Amino acid sequence: MSDISSTSKPVIVTPGDPAGIGAEITLKAALASPIAFVAIADPAHMADAAKKFGINIPIHVWQKGTVIEPGCLTILEHNWPAEIIPGKPIKENSLAIIDAIKSAVSEIRSGNASALVTNPINKFILYQAGFKFPGHTEFLATLSSVRTQPVMMLANKFLRVIPTTIHNPVSEIPSILTYDLLYKTIVIARQDLITDFGIPNPRIAVCGLNPHAGEQGALGSEEIDMISPVISQLLSEDIHIDGPLPADTLFHQEARDNYDLVIGMYHDQVLPVVKTLDFNNTVNITLGLDFIRTSPDHGTAYNIAGKNIAKCDSLLAAISYAENLSQTRGKYTQINSRSIR
C-alpha cells in the first residue's frame, strides 16, 4: 500500500472564480483532507486568505514528480491579472479562470497529476470574456481527447444519478431527449461504472419522462416511443437495466438496494433527491472524458464569499472521489492491459 501511495500522482484542484469561495474552501480542505492534492493558485493571494480566515497551514510550491503530503497547501503557481474582491466577480479575471482549467488538464496529460477537481465558476462572467459553453462540463469535453458527449453524474454514498438532459428549460426537454442521447448516456455511464467505480456488471434503473412513467401511454408517449426501445436494445446487449420506472417510487432505501445508478430524464427529476439524501457531501462527476473530473456540487456562493463561513465538505468529497476513481481506473487499466480509452 505504501508503494502505491508514495508513487501516486496528486489530484489537481482548479481555483474556479477567485471572487467566490474557492480559495477559502481550498485552504480549509488542505487542512482537513487526508488526501494530498495540488491547488492551482496565486501563493500571495492564498497566504493573504489563510491569514484572513485564521487558517494556519504551510504553503509550498509544487515540485512536480515529488511526493506531496497532506496537511499543507501545495500550489501550482497562477497569477490573477486583476484585483480579487470577494463576492464581486469581474471579467478581467475570466481568461485566467479558463487558463487554470486548461493548465490542470495539461498537467494530467503530462502525467504529473492524476485527476481533476474543479472549484465553481460563474459562466455568466466568463461569457463576457468570450467563453462559449453552457458550463464547466461542456468546456472540459473539448479538452478531452475522446470525442464523446460528457455525462454529468451526481453521487454520494447513498445514491448515484445522471440527468440525461441537464441545463434545459422544461419546455425543451421532450424535443432534446432523443433515442441517441439516452442510449449514449447509458453506455458511457455504464462503461465508467465498470472502469472507474469498480462495478463489474452495473445495475441501471431508468426513469420515465412523465409522471408514473407515463401510465402505459395515458400520461405521455415518450416511454413507449423512445425510452422502452432504448432499454430493449440495451437488454439485448446483456446490460443489466430496468425501466422506464416511475421516479417517485425509485429512491427510498429498499428501491435503492436494487441498482447502482439511476438514469433520470432531466435535472429536477433526480438532483433534488440526491442532494436531499446528503446535501453537503454530494459530488458532481463528469463521465465520458479521458480523464477523471469531479467538482463540489455547489456554485461560487458570492453571497458568503470572504465571510469565513463556507464549508469545504463537498470539495473534500470531490477530492476523495477523484482520488478513488483515478486509482480504480488505474487498476482496471493495468488488469486489462490496455491504455486509457
Binding site for a copy of itself (CB under 8 A): 124, 166-171, 173-174, 207, 209-212, 214-215, 218-222, 247-255, 265-273, 275-277, 279
Q: How far is the CB of 197 from a copy of itself (least distance, A)?
A: 22
218 vs 224: CA distance, rounded Å: 11
Comparison of 60 and 252: residue with beta carbon closer to a copy of itself? 252
Comparison of 58 and 272: residue with beta carbon closer to a copy of itself? 272
Comparison of 58 and 211: residue with beta carbon closer to a copy of itself? 211
Comparison of 198 and 299: residue with beta carbon closer to a copy of itself? 299
Residue closest to 13 by CA, chosen among 91, 89, 114: 114
Which strands form 115-117's sheet, in the order they lie side by side?
59-61, 73-77, 37-41, 11-13, 115-117, 293-296, 283-287, 151-155, 160-163, 261-264, 204-207, 241-245
45 vs 83: CA distance, rounded Å: 10
Please tell me the number of Cα atoms within 13 Å of 25 on its side-chain side: 35
Comparison of 96 and 166: residue with beta carbon closer to a copy of itself? 166
Comparison of 180 and 268: residue with beta carbon closer to a copy of itself? 268
Q: Amino acid identity of 184?
A: K
Q: How far is the CB of 156 from a copy of itself (least distance, A)?
A: 11
Q: How far is the CB of 204 from a copy of itself (least distance, A)?
A: 17
Residue closest to 137 by CA, chosen among 166, 160, 161: 166
Q: How far is the CB of 202 from a copy of itself (least distance, A)?
A: 21
285 vs 151: CA distance, rounded Å: 8
Q: How far is the CB of 79 from a copy of itself (least distance, A)?
A: 30
Peptide bond into 169 cis (omega under 30): no
Q: How far is the CB of 133 from a copy of itself (least distance, A)?
A: 13
Q: Which three cell numbers stand for residue 50?
A: 489563510
Contact 117, 294 (CB under 8 A): yes
Q: How far is the CB of 314 from a copy of itself (least distance, A)?
A: 12
Comparison of 85 and 170: residue with beta carbon closer to a copy of itself? 170
